[in-house]
Amino acid sequence: MITKSIDQITEEDLQALIDNSVAEGKKIEYKEKLPENTGEDKKEFLADISSFANASGGDLIYGIVEDRKTGTPKTLEGLPIENADKTILRLDSMIRDGIEPRILGIGIHPVKLSNSKVALIIRVPQSWAKPHCVTFQDHNKFYSRGAKGKYLMDVAELRVAFNLSETITERIRTFREDRISQIFSNETPVPFDYAAKIVLHLIPLISFNPAQRYDIDKIASDPLKGLLPIYSSSHMSRYNLDGFLTYSSAVTPSDTQRTCSYVQLFRNGIIEAVEGDLLDPSYKGNKLEIPIEYEKELIESFDMYLNVLKLLEVEPPVLIFLALLGVKGYIMTVPQQHTGHYVSRRDPRATPIDRDVLLLPEVMIERYDLPAESILKPCFDSVANACGLPGSLNYDKAGKWVG
């Protein structure tokens, strides 16, 4: 596997594999030609893809001629591809339709060569929803990989894979429940005594690999790279036992200072952001209001947090969880201009939230280049539903962000 982001790989990187005689193995395989539309070719292609996902992930590289005896690459010939996008769409469709459950986070990247041809790299991440089965034409076989390439999984390996998948799901659920319980009880990394809170979690599936750790010094050396608290203009930061923390303080109407927002970066790549000012009734005449502007603030912060994960080179997929704590009786409001300043206005359809804790359904992202407003829309819609509204008021009927 090439130790570079897939979209940064160049012809020089591919040539280096040949110059250094990097043989095929558990995490890399070479192919001279793309699979054709025959049933056998498709089964072989899907077996290669699923074997990487069921093992440790890896790169499948098309356009390299290999020595069949040694598995080492000989020449970088490339492929005579006229329309790379169309080719990628065909391969992506084959993967989506021929493997179950669906493999998340696969990347396909064309590399233009000096001979006017194209090499194609398919990067398959290690999956945490394994085992994946090749279901095309009722093939129904499971593959994994070793040092000598792919092989059929036996019953014992399948049992371990199924158990591991269930364990990961349970660990994610338990982690979130534990964190929400602690935050609700104000057992937070910094003193945080707001009754109502907005809680955002970004949880990469790879974080639950027991040995997974990231170099958080990349972020700690300059928190302005993206680890800023929600709805804050200034912050403080420090290392702590869990990783790295940034937090912001504010002066309350009673002239006391307290932490109003923090972001915890865990060493395994998980990000936890908690904010209290946006829901604080002391700023609103003690009215229990959810200002619809909270969506804009979350979108801006979410973009920064995704950038942190990219800087740390955290592989997707990533689960996104939004929760509102201490919000029973809160009503959603929208700003309205009145006599030269803005006041909150209640939508006539809005009703008070009927519970103290809103744990919203998770959203999963497979790549980092999606707009934050699209990723978070299902979360915002769920909050609006809890307030008696049909969906977020910040989107038009086509689902486009209009603010």
Asked if 287 and 328 sit in the same domain, the reply is yes
Asked if 254 and 371 sit in the same domain, the reply is yes
Asked if 146 and 216 sit in the same domain, the reply is no
Asked if 147 and 237 sit in the same domain, the reply is no
Judge whether 78 lies within some domain. yes
Q: Do 124 and 27 contact (CB within 8 A), yes or no?
A: no
Residue 254's pLDDT band, with cuts at 50, 70 and 90, is low
pLDDT digits (tens, 9 = 90+) for 57-75: 999 999 999 998 888 999 9
Asked if 125 and 249 sit in the same domain, the reply is no
Asked if 83 and 111 sit in the same domain, the reply is yes
Asked if 127 and 176 sit in the same domain, the reply is no
Q: Which of 133, 153, 173 is the last residue of a domain?
A: 153
Residue 193's pLDDT band, with cuts at 50, 70 and 90, is confident
Q: What is the CB-side half-sphere exposure of residue 225 using CA atoms within 13 A?
A: 16
Asked if 181 and 132 sit in the same domain, the reply is no
Task: Provide the CATH number for the domain around residue 99.
Answer: 3.30.950.30
pLDDT digits (tens, 9 = 90+) for 366-392: 888 889 999 999 999 999 999 999 999
Q: Do 311 and 218 contact (CB within 8 A), yes or no?
A: yes
pLDDT digits (tens, 9 = 90+) for 100-128: 999 988 999 999 999 999 999 999 988 87
Q: Mean pLDDT, the chain, as a whole number?
A: 89
Which residues form the domain of 285?
162-386
Asked if 378 and 277 sit in the same domain, the reply is yes
Judge whether 185 lies within some domain. yes
Judge whether 199 lies within some domain. yes
Q: What is the pLDDT of residue 285?
A: 66
Token pair for 375: 């990723």
Judge whether 395 lies within some domain. no
Q: What is the pLDDT of residue 145?
A: 94
* Beta carbons within 8 Å of 42's beta carbon, 6+ residues apart: 35, 94, 98, 136, 137
Asked if 176 and 118 sit in the same domain, the reply is no
Percent of the chain with pLDDT over 70: 94
Q: Do 96 and 102 contact (CB within 8 A), yes or no?
A: yes
Q: Which of residues 254 and 315 earns the better pLDDT score?
A: 315
pLDDT of 337 higher than 80: no
Q: Do 312 and 269 contact (CB within 8 A), yes or no?
A: yes
Judge whether 39 lies within some domain. yes
In the chain, how many domains are there?
A: 2
Asked if 94 and 41 sit in the same domain, the reply is yes
Residue 284's pLDDT band, with cuts at 50, 70 and 90, is low
Asked if 115 and 224 sit in the same domain, the reply is no
